[in-house]
Amino acid sequence: MVCACLALDIVLPLPAPGMISIPEEREMGQELLKTVLPQVHLVKDPEVQEFVERIGRNILNVIPVKFFRFRFFVIEDPALNAFAMPGGLVFVHSGLIEAISSENELACVLAHEFGHVQGRHIARRMDNMKYVNIGTAVLAIAGLFLGGGQAGSALLTGSMALNQAIGLQYSRADEQEADRRAFQWICEAGYDPRGLKTTLEKMMKNNWLGSSAIPKYLMTHPAPEQRVTYIEDLWKSHPCYEKRKENPFILHRIQVKLKVMSMPASDAIEEYHSIIDKDPMNLMGTYGYALALDKARRYKEALQVFAKVRQLAPDPEVFDIDEAKTLFRSGHYDKTIKLLARYIENRPKDQSARFYIARAYLETGHASKALPYFKGLMPGWEDMPIFLLQLGRCYAALNRPGFAHYYLYRYYSLTGNMQVAAYHKKKALAVLPKGSEPYKVLTRKDKDSDAKS
């Protein structure tokens, strides 16, 4: 493999005069998170997020200096889209994951998005615009990346926000810089940068076919045809090949999970039942059927089909986590704990399993056993609303009201219920130890707000 860094001249950007600082951009990221999350439907399955984050981390591990703590979110939406906002917020639409042919392609898309963040392209474009109001810019950035649908349009309520959104769109120069950065990181991480090209071609083909899910990616990332040519030229001059060994089974399983998630339960049951009618030994068809039955809350039937999945699978334990979720949703918490305890012995790093065993302990009244599992997921999960809610419940069950109110404040703040968030913040400040980290966080936020006003 020839390292692309030999001649691509990738350098870290120097702040331009008047350009917003990195701490300001981090703060903007927090405001964006609060603005975006109430507007989208996040995939709540932690395993899907883990899949995206694992691939993203493979790229991030080769970036020597990172300006931000990158955080990953998966949006349940059929659009072929991925975007990164200021402050290191990375969003991937489920439609893109369903469309890719390999983990390599997702790694390439994520690397390109990291290129925009590391290049601080939005901050630089803000610097080129006159009279940019940060609050309006947050709405403009969110509206821009969420696209022309209801969520994006709801944010672009004024002509100023709309005009700023237009002005904040990436330029062709931004795209080429992000591609150069991505190309280097992809090669260093052991992936094949031609995945950038094949993914763009999928998006353009989808657009040409007049799909109802026209790629939003092409709206915010201009000149895709020129980018394909540019990527081809980069690869010809600096060829590198994928060195990582992928297990296509992992991606296929995630894709089936997302497909079932995106369909009405009755449609999913019909589709996957038809598949196994024609081919009773079809593993993924049987797996999809089990997930569809679970979605329809036909838990007893789902568990019976999971037994068939075990018979068909070369490694039956892989599907323990799915069966455990069905057991949990059907109220069989003790069986959930027993199954996941065995599963975690062999897969101690599986965060999704740790989350669900914690929830099962919480539901059986063993909050003291749940808490270590919840705490073990921090800080990586602290931007996930579902995690914050369960952690708040856990502290409440342990009669630790200060921490309970703190995490419930964060949950309601992220999900956009500011009135309830304010209630929990007031309660938290009243009972938290003044030397505790949550107390410092809450009072620091108040000081920052006072300084701005």
CATH code: domain of residue 352: 1.25.40.10
Structural domain boundaries enclosing 68 = 4-237
Predicted pLDDT of residue 170: 84
How does pLDDT run across 349-366, given as a tens digit for each residue?
899 999 999 999 999 999
Cα–Cα distance for residue pair 157/171, rounded to 1 Å: 24
Q: Is 327 helix (H, G, I), strand (E, B) or coil?
A: helix
Clarify whether residues 36 and 135 are in a common domain. yes
The answer on 178 and 89 residing in a single domain is yes
So what's the pLDDT on residue 211? 47
19 within some domain = yes
Share above pLDDT 70 across residues of the chain, in percent, rounded to a whole number: 85
Same domain membership, residue 418 and residue 322: yes
Does residue 260 lie within any of the structural domains?
no
286 belongs to a structural domain: yes
The pLDDT of residue 196 is above 70:
yes
pLDDT in tens, 382-408: 989 999 999 999 999 999 999 999 999
Asked whether the whole model's pTM tops 0.85, one would answer yes
- Cis peptide before 379, with omega less than 30 degrees from 0? yes
Look at the chain and report how many structural domains it folds into: 2
Q: What pLDDT does residue 287 have?
A: 98
Within a domain: 250: no
How far apart CA 251 and CA 50 sit, in angstroms, is 12
Same domain, 217 and 311: no
The residue with greater pLDDT, 205 or 65, is 65
What is the pLDDT averaged over residues 439-451? Answer: 71
pLDDT digit string (tens) for 298-342?
999 999 999 999 999 999 999 999 999 999 999 999 999 999 999
- DSSP conformation class of 245: P
Contacts of 382 (CB under 8 A, 6+ apart): 388, 410
User: Same domain for 160 and 225?
Assistant: yes
Q: Looking at the structure, do residues 14 and 145 belong to the same domain, yes or no?
A: yes
What is the mean pLDDT of the segment spanning 247-261?
A: 96
13 assigned to some structural domain: yes
Q: Are 114 and 185 in contact (CB under 8 A)?
A: yes
Q: State the chain's mean pLDDT as an integer.
A: 87
pLDDT digits (tens, 9 = 90+) for 405-420: 999 999 999 998 999 9
423 assigned to some structural domain: yes
Same domain, 99 and 195: yes
pLDDT score recorded for residue 171: 85
Strands (E), 167-217: none
pLDDT digits (tens, 9 = 90+) for 200-219: 898 888 765 444 455 666 66
Say if residue 227 is in the same domain as residue 298: no
What pLDDT does residue 268 have?
A: 98
Is 189 inside a domain boundary?
yes
The mean pLDDT value for 139-155 works out to 69
* Domain co-membership, 317 together with 221: no
Residue 258 in any domain: the answer is no
Contacts of 333 (CB under 8 A, 6+ apart): 327, 360, 363, 364
pLDDT at 420: 97
115 and 224: one domain? yes
3-state secondary structure of 82: strand
In a shared domain, residues 69 and 197: yes
Q: Is the pLDDT of residue 130 over 70?
A: no
Q: Do 86 and 222 have their domain in common? A: yes
Tell me what percent of the residues of the chain surpass a pLDDT of 90: 64
pLDDT exceeds 80 at position 51: yes
The terminus-to-terminus CA distance of the chain in angstroms comes to 54
Q: What is the largest CA-CA distance in the chain?
A: 67
